[in-house]
Structure 1
Amino acid sequence: MTGWKLAGIWALRAISVLLVVGSLLSTTELNQWWIRIWDFPRIQILAGMILCLIALAKFDRGWRPWLPLALVGFALWQAYRVYPYTPLSPTEVARVAEQQTDRTGCFTALTLNVYQENREYGRTVDLIRRIDPDIVLLMETDQAWADAVAPALAVYPERIDRPLDNTYGIMFASKLPMRDASIQDLAQKDTPSVLATLSVGGHDFRMIALHPRPPVPKQDTEERDAEIVMAAKQSQYMTLPVLAIGDFNDVAWSDTTRLFKDIGGFLDPRRGRGTYATFPAGMVWLGWPLDHLFMTEEFLFSEMRVGESVGSDHRPVIARLCLDPERARARNEEAAAPDESDEKEAGEVMEEFEQDTARDAVEGEAG
């Protein structure tokens, strides 16, 4: 065996072991950033495992059967996790016929993480004017972004903004009547969320817009997970229908998002239809669904799509929704009610967040 061939075989083994170990780590509840990032590329990991299995079968007999068996086992597990976001899975939210979307209870939503360093303002302004949505959520908006999009948002009578230069600024604009609106730091300072009550077609609904911080070096997921759980709790105790939107910096198939759905009583229109990946913008076909739109069972939808890139590292999400409680409850899948294990898990998330917050406070005082 030549040196190059041997090196290739060992590289193949190393990649296979890395994929297996990463998949194993992602089954844990540990919050370290370098563990939780394995939640994101499940489709890519699955594809990598299949390619490794093919290559091992052709070129390497040395580590049989254990390495191929481990790859098969974790490939099946990864497939199980992403299965709900394939056309093979049942849908949760019913679709409205196109001719019914002009009813008074229907509206269009646009959400976009603009990417603060992106200075192609005109492309986002053109997008807003072209789509002419009823509600607009923009994230990562600093003051320069707020000034740039002001002309496009001038036609929106309802506005609530907090521009920030830390990549967590947020802007929300609505043509729907709005009340009880506020911008709150649910879990982490200067990481704002928008909460508001909107009205359409004679019905009120509560809107929650999130943009928690992602798992990156020196930033684990206690705060992100706590913010997501806090938002779910708001929906759990809400008598109104609820729409939750935003860049959650979490993927649709994660345990945290599953807990969010169960605690908040949410449905996901992507289930049974596709991943609707939005990040990275240049490779959506290979990307992750970081930008979300969840709804309680009173909503139907006629359209949800990922728009074209406008210079950001995210692509926009555009949806046409209808708030029609009676028809929707009759047609939608019933939302899963939180059970005892969900409540326990949510409690553990909040306990870890409180411990982390207390530890940071002590370290800050010591510093």
Structure 2
Amino acid sequence: MLVTGLSIIESNEWWIRIWDFPRVQILGLLLLGGGLALWLDRQAGRWIALGCAVAAGWQLYRIYPYTPLAKTELAFADDASIAQSRCFGVLSLNVLESNRDYGRTARLIDRVRPDILLLMETDQRWADALAKQLVRYPHRLEQPIGNTYGMIFATRLPMRDGRIETIAQKDTPSVHAELTAGDRFHVIALHPRPPVPGQDTEARDAEIAIAASRAARAKLPVLAIGDFNDVAWSHTSQLFKRVGGYLDARIGRGTFATFPARTPLLGWPLDHMFVTPEFKVHSLEVLEDVGSDHLPIHSRLCLTGRSGANKAPDAVSNEDRKDVKEVLQEYHEDRRER
């Protein structure tokens, strides 16, 4: 009940924001705790059970959209009716820099053969180990770094204006590129830093907010992918989704948890794939463990233009605009203090 209350507080402190992550697990513990309280002590247990029920209701409210009980917002497409030139595969994976079992990732890439490949936490050893796979891609953006924030982006699709940028935090690259699949579209790939002891979320939230604002200004369809180090149901991710005008194929279908890899049933959706309404999704799946602490996420997308089959993106409110402004203000104040 305490950590549920903490998660409601609007704060960038790491010890508060970490409770955004395990909502499914907290919900399970609240249901278990409430049941045990009633069984062990009928009188006092009623009050404990009531508190657990209220807290469980809040947790369920936050994760409900990512259950099959909710209504979907992004249509799945039968690409038989869509020109193949407008469809492409995307594979996104945080490889875990310390994972040196390169062969499993190499075999995954060989089997899936995605048109767009995003690899995160890649140092030079990873870049060298996957050279045989990467050379097949005519367009590559690579910044291998030994700080767990290296990034490799590779694509077979025609690319223009591709670049690696540092949006908010030094040595934390992001990818921005314009690709073509029948029509042009923009790709944003992010891997901001997570909330951990000694590291609050100002820079992470600022990077996500800046990327969302760029998407809102883009005159092209946008695909946003990467390990956001933030769960899909957090305030920051939902703000990113509204401000950027995105839809999420996971809504109404499941969490598609990718972390931690070895306990996916108890995991969190840290790896994301948001699209604007011009896309349809033919498939979305979390793939097998390849030795990382994250599972790969793979999708086949089709660029079809705006369709009535997709739900309209949630409207951006004045409160959302205020939140973005506050996020950026807090980030700049933190930078000045440092």
Question: Smaller-chain TM-score range?
Answer: over 0.9
Matched letter for residue 323 of structure 2? E
| Aligned counterpart in structure 2 of residue 117 of structure 1, from 95, 98, 103 | 98
Answer with 1 or 2: which has the greater Rg: 1
Identity %: 53
Deviations 1:50-75 (A, max 9, x none): 00111111112463443222111010
Aligned twin of 2:49:
68
Aligned twin of 1:335:
313
Separation in structure 1 between the aligned mates of residue 128 and residue 83 of structure 2, nearest angstrom = 33
Matched letter for residue 353 of structure 1? Y
Q: Would you say the 8 A contact 2:215–2:222 is kept in 1?
A: yes
Displacement of 1:330 after TM fit?
2.0
Matched letter for residue 198 of structure 1? L
| Aligned counterpart in structure 1 of residue 215 of structure 2, from 216, 220, 235 | 235
1:47 aligns with 2:28: yes
Displacement of 1:153 after TM fit?
1.0
Separation in structure 2 between the aligned mates of residue 30 and residue 62 of structure 1, nearest angstrom = 36
After TM superposition, where is structure 1 displaced by more than 4 Å over at least 4 residues in a row?
none
Q: Would you say the 8 A contact 2:38–2:45 is kept in 1?
A: no
Tell me, what secondary structure is at the counterpart of 2:17? helix
Aligned twin of 1:174:
155
Matched letter for residue 328 of structure 2? M
Displacement of 1:339 after TM fit?
1.2
1:350 aligns with 2:328: yes
1:359 aligns with 2:337: yes
Matched letter for residue 114 of structure 2? P
Aligned twin of 1:155:
136
Tell me the number of residue pairs that the alignment of Structure 1 and Structure 2 aligns. 338
1:198 aligns with 2:175: no
Aligned twin of 2:8:
27
Tell me, what secondary structure is at the counterpart of 1:293? strand
| Aligned counterpart in structure 2 of residue 219 of structure 1, from 196, 199, 212 | 199
Tell me, what secondary structure is at the counterpart of 1:224? helix
Q: How does 1:224-263 map to 2 (within 5 A)?
A: 224-263=204-243
Deviations 1:112-153 (A, max 9, x none): 000000000011011101000000000000000010111111
Matched letter for residue 240 of structure 1? L
Deviations 1:304-337 (A, max 9, x none): 0000000000000000000010xx4221000112
| Aligned counterpart in structure 2 of residue 57 of structure 1, from 16, 38, 50 | 38
Matched letter for residue 175 of structure 1? R
Matched letter for residue 332 of structure 1? N
Separation in structure 2 between the aligned mates of residue 82 and residue 101 of structure 1, nearest angstrom = 33
Structure 2 residue ranges without an equivalent (≥5): none
Separation in structure 2 between the aligned mates of residue 94 and residue 159 of structure 1, nearest angstrom = 30
Deviations 1:82-135 (A, max 9, x none): 000011111111011153466210000000000000000011011101000000
1:80 aligns with 2:61: yes
Q: Would you say the 8 A contact 2:164–2:173 is kept in 1?
A: yes
Matched letter for residue 152 of structure 2? M
Aligned twin of 1:289:
269
Q: Would you say the 8 A contact 1:142–1:165 is kept in 2?
A: yes
Q: Would you say the 8 A contact 1:109–1:136 is kept in 2?
A: yes
| Aligned counterpart in structure 2 of residue 106 of structure 1, from 69, 87, 112 | 87
1:271 aligns with 2:219: no
Q: Would you say the 8 A contact 1:101–1:302 is kept in 2?
A: no
For the aligned residue pairs, the C-alpha RMSD in angstroms reads 1.0
1:316 aligns with 2:281: no
Separation in structure 1 between the aligned mates of residue 170 and residue 315 of structure 2, nearest angstrom = 31
Separation in structure 2 between the aligned mates of residue 194 and residue 60 of structure 1, nearest angstrom = 56
Aligned twin of 1:364:
none
Q: Would you say the 8 A contact 2:37–2:48 is kept in 1?
A: no
Separation in structure 2 between the aligned mates of residue 38 and residue 194 of structure 1, nearest angstrom = 28
Q: Would you say the 8 A contact 2:160–2:179 is kept in 1?
A: yes
Tell me, what secondary structure is at the counterpart of 2:248? coil
Q: Would you say the 8 A contact 2:65–2:251 is kept in 1?
A: yes
